[in-house]
């Protein structure tokens, strides 16, 4: 494989975990050399989700899917209630305008590869390399459902509607992010970073997207349909530049391709409407 240029440095973002290479110290036990994330990869090195086309969101320049339920609500709640007791949860410290600030949202990070290390807003992420059995079982399910393997999972704990994640994008080294929601449903907003000024439009996912005026179908109003005709194809949905939806408990949201390049995402604060606790498990195929 051809050697790749180092990744371009980008401005730190408090909500954006950064891959990093830790300097070895003489006292470190022998450990595989840590690897650093990079943007240039062979196509064969990363796979993409190809089996969820019926769940595709109608986003301009974006490859994202929303599966309303990969596990029933009772099981999703049971998984939430078990995972909320993990020892690995902690509140990371963020650098905000040069000051250390403790984040309200707890996180827990796991990796399948001991050489994978990350930085989160300038601080090393406390990475665990031993998966709790339930998390491994859930990852197996997500891998089977999406046809992709993941080497990292970042879990987020939103203890109530006051806990949120601001508008951000993740590193592009995250080739696929498959996010399983457990517990309290929460609003999720996707925003294109460069919408065309005149064309910006949005479609809530709860409402079927409107068909473009030129959409075709095999039947037309002027000719009666022939019973031997194939059934009309559903019209192609209009592409949108913002998208607001509710992530249900047990649902899976997948982002891949150019999503982190052209779109930002957020789970806004909903103090009044959301009293319950939610966990998101963001399974990541991180190229490094």
Please indicate if the annotation marks 97 as binding a ligand: no
Residue 55 beta carbon to ligand AKG: minimum distance, rounded to whole angstroms: 16
Binder of ligand AKG out of 59, 154, 176, 178 (CB under 6 A): 154
Distance between CA atoms of residues 277 and 51, nearest Å: 30
Binder of ligand AKG out of 121, 139, 146, 179 (CB under 6 A): 179
Q: Taking CB positions, which residue lies at the least distance from ligand AKG?
A: 280
Which residues in 251-270 contact ligand AKG (CB under 6 A)? 265, 267
User: Is 205 one of the binding residues for ligand AKG (CB under 6 A)?
Assistant: no
Binder of ligand AKG out of 103, 121, 156, 251 (CB under 6 A): 156
Which string of DSSP letters, residue by residue, matches 111-137? ESSTTB-EEETTEE--EE-S--HHHHH
Residue 158 beta carbon to ligand AKG: minimum distance, rounded to whole angstroms: 7
Q: Write out the two tokens for 176.
A: 């696929």
Buried b (16+ CB within 10 A) or exposed e, 98-109: eeeeebebbbbb
User: Is 280 one of the binding residues for ligand AKG (CB under 6 A)?
Assistant: yes
Please indicate if the annotation marks 171 as binding a ligand: no
Please indicate if the annotation marks 145 as binding a ligand: no
Distance between CA atoms of residues 127 and 258, nearest Å: 27
Any idea what the Cα angle at residue 192 is, between residues 94 and 96, rounded to 5°? 15
Angstrom distances, CA of residue 61 to CA of 27, 108, 242, 259, 260: 48, 31, 12, 7, 10
User: Is 165 one of the binding residues for ligand AKG (CB under 6 A)?
Assistant: yes
Name the residue nearer to ligand AKG (CB basis): 12 or 199: 12
Contact yes or no for 207/58 (Cβ under 8 A): no
User: Is 285 one of the binding residues for ligand AKG (CB under 6 A)?
Assistant: no
Which residues in 82-141 contact ligand AKG (CB under 6 A)? none
| Residues with Cβ within 8 Å of residue 247, at least 6 apart in sequence | 179, 181, 185, 186, 187, 188, 253, 267, 280
User: Is 63 one of the binding residues for ligand AKG (CB under 6 A)?
Assistant: no
- Residues near ligand AKG (CB under 6 A) are 154, 156, 165, 170, 179, 188, 247, 265, 267, 280, 282
Binding-site residue set for 2-oxoglutarate: 156, 158, 168, 265, 278, 282, 284
């Amino acid at each position: 494989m051809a050697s790749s240029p180092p990744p371009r440095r980008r401005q730190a973002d408090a909500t954006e975990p950064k891959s990093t290479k830790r300097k070895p110290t003489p006292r470190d036990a022998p450990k595989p050399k840590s690897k650093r994330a990079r943007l240039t990869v062979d196509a064969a090195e990363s796979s993409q989700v190809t089996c969820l086309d019926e769940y595709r969101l109608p986003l301009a320049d974006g490859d994202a899917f929303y599966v309303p339920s990969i596990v029933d609500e009772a099981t999703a709640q049971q998984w939430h209630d078990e995972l909320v007791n993990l020892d690995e949860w902690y509140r990371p410290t963020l650098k905000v305008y040069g000051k250390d600030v403790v984040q309200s949202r707890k996180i827990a990070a796991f990796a399948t590869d001991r050489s994978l290390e990350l930085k989160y807003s300038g601080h090393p992420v406390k990475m665990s390399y031993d998966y709790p059995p339930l998390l491994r079982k859930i990852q197996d399910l997500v891998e089977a459902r999406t046809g992709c393997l993941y080497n990292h999972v970042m879990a987020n704990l939103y203890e109530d509607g006051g806990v949120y994640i601001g508008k951000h994008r993740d590193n592009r080294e995250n080739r696929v992010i498959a996010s399983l929601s457990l517990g309290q449903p929460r609003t999720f907003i996707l925003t294109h970073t460069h919408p065309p000024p005149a064309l910006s439009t949005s479609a809530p996912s709860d409402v079927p997207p409107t068909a473009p005026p030129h959409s075709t179908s095999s039947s037309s109003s002027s000719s009666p349909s022939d019973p031997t005709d194939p059934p009309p194809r559903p019209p192609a949905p209009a592409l949108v530049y913002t998208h607001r939806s509710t992530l249900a408990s047990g649902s899976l949201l997948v982002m891949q391709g150019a999503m982190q390049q052209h779109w930002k995402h957020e789970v806004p604060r909903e103090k009044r409407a959301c009293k319950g606790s939610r966990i998101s498990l963001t399974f990541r195929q991180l190229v490094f």
